[in-house]
Structure 1
Amino acid sequence: MLILASFVFLYYTIWTLLMPFVDEKHPLQSLFPPRVWAIRIPVILLLLGGAVVGSFLSVVMIRSNRKKAAKKAKEAKAK
């Protein structure tokens, strides 16, 4: 995991910080996507990550409220 994370960090760093100074026709440019994706990819990942975290929290909160409601209904029925 650490090796993969290090590779991704180095690749992205080179892509965003060094490649703008390399000539457009240089063969190294073929190893990287267009520069506009340097912004799009992190934005897409942040939106997807936020959606996943938000969905998870929503499901947990809904289940918790259902359990509380069932417990209250059981207590009311017992009285």
Structure 2
Amino acid sequence: MELADKTVGFMLSAVSLSIFTYYTFWVIILPFVDSDHFIHDYFLPQEYAILIPVFAGVLLLSFLCVFIGFVMLKSKKKKKV
């Protein structure tokens, strides 16, 4: 299982680094490039640079709250028995 764990870890690191590089280039460097340059074809509009992380954060917090709620309900049922 050690090789599989290393492979999964490497893949997660590679995906995370790719997303970080793409987002950094999109948000920091792209505004300084001329708007008629061909590189703009590979990126979403700038509005999504804020909307996507905000939506992902709200989704993450929602799932976290639901998970904590289920754990609290489950632990409450165990104490009654």
Gaps of 5+ in 2: 1-11
Question: Which one has more relative contact order, counting CA pairs under 8 Å at least 6 apart?
Answer: 2
Q: Based on CA coordinates, which of the two structures has the bigger radius of gyration?
A: 1
C-alpha RMSD of the superposition: 0.5
- Structure-1-length-normalised TM-score: 0.87
Gaps of 5+ in 1: 71-79
Residues 1:36 and 2:23 aligned together: no
2:66 is aligned, of 52, 55, 65, to: 55
Seq. identity, %? 34
- Structure-2-length-normalised TM-score: 0.85
Residues 1:6 and 2:6 aligned together: no
CA distance in 2, matches of 1:30, 1:47: 28
Aligned letter for 2:51?
R
Q: Structure 1: which 4+ aligned runs deviate by more than 3 Å? A: none
